[in-house]
Amino acid sequence: LAKTTQPISMDSYEGQEVNITCSHNNIATNDYITWYQQFPSQGPRFIIQGYKTKVTNEVASLFIPADRKSSTLSLPRVSLSDTAVYYCLVGPDRGSTLGRLYFGRGTQLTVWP
């Protein structure tokens, strides 16, 4: 059973705001929601992590509704260099020492000039 569901691909143009929504209907009470970005020939790079409501950093914002069954990664004013695969993950468990992460297939975001 997939832990997360997200679109396979998305297209955008430079300067636009991009929102990628992820479904995680079976999220556990103590799971974080974490997003990673991956460029070709590189390992995934941590973008943002949250538990509830809204989290913002210098790169992105993460919106989490009260039921936590979905989340939305928001990238403001994307550029060509934001073209990458974006992974939504549930985990790690806030109370666990294990921290195992489950990646899905991710969303391929392509930004056009």
Contact positions vs another protein (CB under 8 A): 32, 34, 41-46, 49, 87, 92, 94, 96-106
Distance CA 61, CA 19 (A): 9
Nearer to another protein by Cβ, of 16 and 104: the residue is 104
For residue 54, the minimal CB distance to another protein (Å) is: 18
For residue 21, the number of C-alpha atoms closer than 13 Å in the C-beta half-sphere is: 6
For residue 8, the minimal CB distance to another protein (Å) is: 11
Nearer to another protein by Cβ, of 54 and 105: the residue is 105
Distance CA 36, CA 43 (A): 10
Nearer to another protein by Cβ, of 13 and 102: the residue is 102
CA nearest 45: which of 55, 53, 31, 34? 34
Lookup: tokens for 109 = 């975001």
Q: Are the beta carbons of 73 and 19 closer than 8 angstroms?
A: yes
For residue 91, the minimal CB distance to another protein (Å) is: 9
Nearer to another protein by Cβ, of 43 and 113: the residue is 43
DSSP 79: -
For residue 43, the minimal CB distance to another protein (Å) is: 3
